[in-house]
Chain A
Amino acid sequence: MNALPFSRRRALQSLACGFGQIALAGMASRSAEAAPAPLAPKPAGHKARAKRIIFLFMQGGVSHVDSFDHKPKLLAEDGRMLDFADLRSLAKSGKSPQQRVMKPLWNFAQHGQSGLWASDLFPETCMHMDKLCLIRSMHTEGIAHGPATLFLHTGTTTFVRPSMGAWISYGLGSENENLPAFVTISPSLGNGGPRNYGNAFLPPVFQGTAIGRAGVPAASATIGNLHSPRTPAEARRQFDLLRELNAEQLLQKPGDSELEAVISSYELAWRMQGSAPGVLGMEGESPETLALYGIGEKATDNFGRQCLLARRLCESGVRFVQVNYGDNTNNPAWDQHSNIKKHGDHALAVDRPVAGLLADLEQRGLLEDTIVWWGGEFGRTPYAEKNGTGRDHNPAGFSLWLAGGGFKAGTAYGETDEWGHHAVVNKVHMHDLHATLLHALGLDHEALTFRYAGRPFRLTDVYGRVVHDLFA
């Protein structure tokens, strides 16, 4: 059953020198396909449409009825007290009190050639409407942030499972031996924290590498311990000493591939120390590019830097880059339980950088094989929370968009009900989105498995279906 996984596992864990040689390890296990190797990703049954993903995570939950899901009924019925099956009340008490319909605070209009409806909450993003593949029928698990955020990243609200980026690095490896395959920029410590980019039971080489963290300016975000505190000459001299000491020690223990792997890990670290800071910096970016992302302007500087860094990492071969717009609190960023107007401040901070990223990826020809995924862990209710000025969480129906990577541009898929409360037509569950994104990368979500604790596991558990209609 578990024939010889041990040697393979050990080989992968100890020989894969890290960021770097994941790809090699992946190839090694593929070439051993003949033997049933649990680590070997199953061969993709189809051609990949995309090579990488940039996930722009809008932590806290953007209100879809104020942004991408146009519901005229909310304007017509604004202020009425009506029966809605409020999920939080139902989970807690099995009952749901009447709720006050609340109209969107932003005006909706049609955009681009496609004529898709969206509000003026994200004016600059809307200028790229013809590039977007809107999904308006998302639904997911988890009513509170913690469970829903974990579900978004790992496909479960409760259990400790690998995050999607870890699965993708496991399936595809990295294209650059000096960089990790999975990077998350400025992640939050809250709502699952490291579990959202963790490898769980997958070998540690597949865990996400955090660059910076929420609350720390993106300008100072970097990979841990990348910078030597010594002068280049001193660092060189010291590293040469280590090389000599290790070479001498290795002579006494010939034929130990694990010790050799440690030595290569030092060589790789040394190379990274030389090359990675270049990728993480902004060198060589023209003033026009910086302006495109809103870098240098107060409102957009921070998220602009994160988006530009995402593009640079993608160019350097990183497979999955998550860009986080959030914070470490229990009511993160977009979580407007009151004063939904505050969505405007957040939109201001992300809109230009997001639009800039889309334009930049397109002008560099990267959008074809890069998927940009924009969205939160859930949406918000069409009615006011506790009859106040904000909206509560809504996992039953919400919107997000994908761009590039072979998805249909300038289209909208699926519908919520007339209020925007529940997804009803062509529903797409978060499991389905996971399956679809893996499919776009050439991975079969039912075949990308890892044997652990006596059984194979996958990102989508026993669920998920590929939404083929989303592909061009």
Chain B
Amino acid sequence: MTLRSFTFAFFLAPLVVSGAEPATDFFEKKVRPLLVERCMECHSAEAKVKGGLRLDWREGWAKGGDSGPAIVPGNPEKSLLIEAVHYGNKDLQMPPKQRLSPQETDILKTWVEMGAPDPRTEAKEVKKQTGLSLTEGRKFWSYAPVQKPALPEVRAKDWPRSNLDHFLLARMEAAGVQPAPDAPLLPLVRRLYLNLVGLPPTQEQTEAFLKEAAQNRQAALARLTDVLLASPQFGETWGRHWLDVARFAESSGGGRTLLFKDAWRYRDYVIAAFNSDTPFPQFVREQVAGDLLPAATPADRRRHLAATAFLALGPTNYEEQDKQQLRFDVIDEQIETVGRAFLGQTLGCARCHDHKFDPVSQKDYYALAGVFASTRTLFNYTDNVARWITTPLPEEGPREAELKLHEERLAALRKQIDAAQTEATNAAKLVSSPTTKPGMPVAAAELQGIVLDDLEAKVVGVWKKSTFVRSFIGAGYLSDDNSGKGEKTITFTPTIPKAGRYEVRLAYTHADGRATNVRVNILHADGEDTVFVDQTQPPPLEGRFISLGKFRFEQDGAGYVLISNENTRGFVTVDALQLLEEGAPSNQRSEPANSKPDTLAKNKVKELEAAFKKLSKEGPVRDLTMAVADDDKILDAQLRIRGVERQRGETVPRGFLQVTFPQAPAALPPDSSGRVEMADWIASGENPLTARVQVNRVWNWLFGTGLVSTIDNFGTTGEKPTHPELLDYLAGRFMEEGGSWKTLIREIVLSRAWQQTAASPSATDPENRLFAHANRRRLDAEQIRDSILSVSGGLDRQLGGSNIAGAGDIDANNSSAQNIEYNYVYADFRRSVYTPAFRNKRLELFEVFDFGNINQTMGQRNSSTVAPQALFLLNHPFLLEQSKLAAEAALKTPASIQERIRAAYHQVLGRPPSPKETAICQRFVAGASAPEAEVWAQLYQMLFASLDFRYID
């Protein structure tokens, strides 16, 4: 206690004792106005309660905010409030905008010394919005158990073709609305193809179908549906839908984007899951907990591991410097994705506070967070730029044996290398002469590459010039004189004439008294590396240099090599820096033969290293996948107050959303993260959300809107279902059928409702919430691209596999891999599901047609009509080239102009032209002055740009 405050306390204490009034008086006259004027704007029930601190009543400051009690009565030294107003602590300065005057500060201090008398014992209630209680929540439609509704009665008994038609028709009849007639066969067959396989039918396919349908329309449709559901293109198309839900991407985006080199295995997993109609509960288990599932075969294990990339594919900001924060951000992203994708819940809200609308508490959030905190998604928590986990994949029989053998050989060789390395280090210590190779001085100009003498470096601190050891370059070398440790640095900043990879070599002179751990930092285009040089050892290259490694530099980019004498014992010397471009011709780099034992030992290391390199290159390579794993430590998470990572609250046992359980569930096992149990909880027939959310997704993908129009939000802020009984009927069917996508899709497309004709929005039901006609739907980005390629004949139908050119050779965690993304040229013509899905650089067609954003679960894409789309279709080279290909192919067959027009209409729009349309096109062709192929290319292009191509009727 300072003398001054002691005096005050001494002086004022009697006032407190002798009667409340003077003290209260002091509060009323001095303190209250001050609090009102300067503090309560942010710390009162009526305004805000920042940091959880209220200063509008006694309990407020006594209990305090996130940092604890604000005032310790009688003890200003221990009162955070006083510390804050004194502005002594940089992290705690209040009021933040304008410091109090010294007089004002004194008032508060005096008041605290007085024991902080405060007559305000009644609190004003904080108006806090809270979500539904659990009991109320369980009554809300989406959290209530799925019902088994009876089929409603309908008047037009001959209209329904399937059970679901009853539900829709009953509503239409109640509203006095007639269903639309059945769609004509031509648009219907195009609709079916595009919906199920994402490609338009060829003219031959259309004709075959028409022929069959003439016999029996419904039977032909059923047969065609089965054919399409069985084709591999079904999985490509419907897998793509799920990839939207899984926010699938092949790079991290965000800050420093990193390439997800192995993410394609997840993409292929999803496609295969749809093609093989993996039951939904299994689909959930594999993605949430594949690594923990028993696997009967290596193939199962591979599939299970690849599926867990679902949890790792987020737009993670691996560069975040606070790694605990990063870890927490990853967990948050996982909770948000699992919540949206499987449950239609926006759980992210509960990171900072109880959900304001939904029956989801902050505790629920941290119960889930515990599961993911016990899961390892990041490789470690120390890398400057963090990375994900790549897991080796097992193989079958002989292939596995071959791999194992190879890996054992490599391990044995590695052991030999380590032994040889130890020997070499020991041998070097035995070499006595301090100047083993006393080479003569050499001019910088005589050396290859970029050479910077020490004179050209930026020198910090006092360095001593020397020419004592004669092997120096240029004008002598510099020594730190074994003094001023930590105060001296030398920085070389080479000018790089040409972007590329360079070997960076440092020249120094060695001796016994030199430092053994000279830190050298190299800043290059991909980040910064640190190398330690042992200057007691002779420079291994030409007796002058040591190689610091190979690094990439940009032309004239930022780059430096910094040598520091920090933490060294012994002399630090610096002579010169040399940069040799990789692949540049060399004629002076051979080293003189030397038979000294240290050199022999070193040569042995080199030989072994070379053998290792050769063996790894020649041998079989094991496949890797992005995956997660259970962490070594299984821990319940601590609640974070207001979501701030460093502000820990109570520990919450791992678990799931309470609202989905009628009774409290069993505790999670102490020896695993609980992801298996989480998957089982998600996929359980008891979970009221999962099946409803998934059948609604399918409905949306087939009808263009959901029964619940907020596809990813089944909370209280989402829309209510237009047909709740139908939703429950479908959800019940989905679960009964074991979660079969194909059964559900088949039932819907064969319904009468789905086969209605498309119409423009009606005045009475502009959103078509009665589903009284088919919605006219636009082609999405992939359908546009794949349809054009299909018409032009340019489509490459190869299935699966990695599709990022150049990604095979790189270390995916190396940040230079991002250049593959930045400089990517999209040259393949495979189906769009395989187009590299980078987050920072998208295929332009995708960006323009509402598929630019793959950062979060997207049950429904944006759908915009903007001028850049029109410009793309009018002027982009892709359109010009593919139209030209289509025209050239058409012109190979002799035909009349009318026949060609007719064929073009069939190819592009799936229908014949009207006489008027034929006339328009004929006039266009006849009036042309350009070469024939060009004219037809222009015609094809405008058909691609026309409304009937861009929409599905």
User: Which A residues have a C-beta under 8 Å from some C-beta of B?
Assistant: 1-2, 6-7, 10, 13-20, 81, 85, 88, 91-92, 98, 100, 143-147, 149-150, 157-158, 160, 189-195, 198, 200, 203-205, 207, 209, 223-229, 234, 237-239, 241-242, 244-246, 248-250, 253-259, 261-263, 265-266, 268-270, 272-273, 327-331, 335-339, 342, 384, 386-390, 422, 424-427, 453-455, 465
Contact = CB atoms under 8 A, between A and B. Distances in A.
A272 B916 CA distance: 30
B822 A189 contact: yes
A331 B942 contact: no
Interface string B933-953: 000001101110111101100
A328 B97 contact: no
Contact of B942 (A10, A241, A388): A241
B717 interface: yes
A424 B97 CA distance: 9
B562 A18 contact: no
The residue among B346, B853, B865 with the most chain A CB atoms within 10 A of its own CB is B865
Given A189-B840, A330-B525, A427-B97, A195 B491 contact: no
13 contacts: A92-B321, A189-B821, A189-B841, A194-B840, A223-B868, A245-B942, A245-B943, A253-B760, A256-B761, A269-B871, A387-B487, A453-B712, A454-B718
B180 interface: no
Contacts of A200: 853, 855
A270 B855 CA distance: 33
A206 to B, nearest CB: 10
Residue among B256, B323, B358, B815 having the largest count of chain A Cβ atoms under 10 Å: B256
Contact of B818 (A158, A190, A192, A384): A190
B523 A337 contact: yes
Given A88-B321, A225-B872, A390-B560, A330 B760 contact: no
Nearest to A238: B938
Given A6-B719, A147-B317, A330-B526, A226 B853 contact: no
B59 interface: no
Contact of B97 (A2, A17, A143, A426): A426
Given A81-B486, A453-B348, 20 more contacts: A1-B716, A146-B256, A146-B320, A189-B822, A190-B818, A225-B868, A225-B871, A253-B776, A255-B760, A256-B760, A258-B776, A266-B945, A269-B871, A270-B870, A331-B557, A338-B493, A338-B558, A389-B489, A425-B99, A426-B98
A439 to B, nearest CB: 16
A210 to B, nearest CB: 10
Interface stretch (B632-640, B690-698, B791-799, B874-882): B874-882
Nearest to B879: A225
Contacts of B888: none
Interface of B: 87, 90, 93, 96-99, 253-257, 315, 317, 319-323, 329, 346, 348-349, 356-358, 458, 460, 486-489, 491, 493, 521, 523, 525-528, 554, 557-558, 560, 562, 564, 566, 709-710, 712-713, 715-719, 760-761, 766-767, 776, 778, 815, 818, 821-822, 839-842, 844, 847-848, 850, 852-853, 855-856, 862-872, 874-877, 880, 914, 916-917, 920-921, 924, 927-928, 930, 938-939, 941-943, 945-948, 950-951
Contact of A13 (B348, B862, B917): B862
A338 B862 contact: no
A389 B87 CA distance: 32
Nearest to B947: A249
Q: Max chain A CB contacts within 10 Å: which of B566, B916, B942?
A: B942
Nearest to A215: B822
A471 to B, nearest CB: 16
Contacts of B815: 330
A330 B254 CA distance: 12
Contact of B874 (A10, A85, A195, A269): A269
A297 B716 CA distance: 61
A35 to B, nearest CB: 15
A387 B564 contact: yes
Contacts of A390: 560
A200 B848 CA distance: 14
A182 to B, nearest CB: 13
Contacts of A223: 868, 871
Given A14-B865, A144-B320, A338-B491, A386 B870 contact: no
Contacts of B942: 238, 241-242, 245
Q: Which 5 A-B pairs have the closest CB atoms?
A: A146-B255, A454-B717, A18-B866, A269-B870, A193-B840
B924 A329 contact: no
Contact of A261 (B323, B566, B865): B865
A303 to B, nearest CB: 16
A204 B863 CA distance: 8
B865 A386 contact: no
Nearest to B844: A224
Contact of A224 (B486, B487, B871): B871
B489 A386 contact: yes
Nearest to B924: A241
B491 A388 contact: yes
Given A192-B255, A229-B875, A249-B946, A329 B525 contact: yes
Nearest to A15: B865
Contact of B460 (A18, A388, A426): A388
Given A1-B357, A100-B487, A386 B866 contact: no
Nearest to A2: B717
Given A242-B946, A330-B815, A384-B460, A18 B865 contact: yes
A228 B848 CA distance: 17
Contacts of A258: 776, 778, 865
A430 to B, nearest CB: 14
B734 to A, nearest CB: 25
B489 A388 contact: yes
Contacts of B99: 425
A259 B775 CA distance: 13
Given A205-B866, A244-B920, A330-B525, A226 B315 contact: no
Contact of A147 (B253, B319, B491, B864): B319
Contacts of B718: 2, 454
B346 A342 contact: no
Given A193-B253, A262-B950, A269-B871, A256 B866 contact: no
Nearest to B458: A389
B523 A338 contact: yes
Given A92-B323, A195-B253, A157 B317 contact: yes
Given A242-B945, A269-B867, A328-B822, A386 B97 contact: no
B344 to A, nearest CB: 11
Contacts of B491: 338-339, 388-389
Nearest to B252: A146
A314 B875 CA distance: 26
Contacts of B528: 337
A422 B872 CA distance: 49
Contacts of A238: 938, 941-942
A278 to B, nearest CB: 16
B703 to A, nearest CB: 14
A15 B761 CA distance: 14
B349 A389 contact: no
A92 B380 CA distance: 13
Contacts of B98: 426
Contact of A453 (B557, B713, B716, B938): B713
Contacts of B928: 237
A250 B947 contact: yes
A446 to B, nearest CB: 12
Given A200-B853, A335-B558, A454-B357, A386 B253 contact: no
Given A91-B321, A100-B487, A386 B257 contact: no
A176 B928 CA distance: 36
B868 A18 contact: yes
A81 B484 CA distance: 11
Contacts of B850: 204
A6 to B, nearest CB: 5
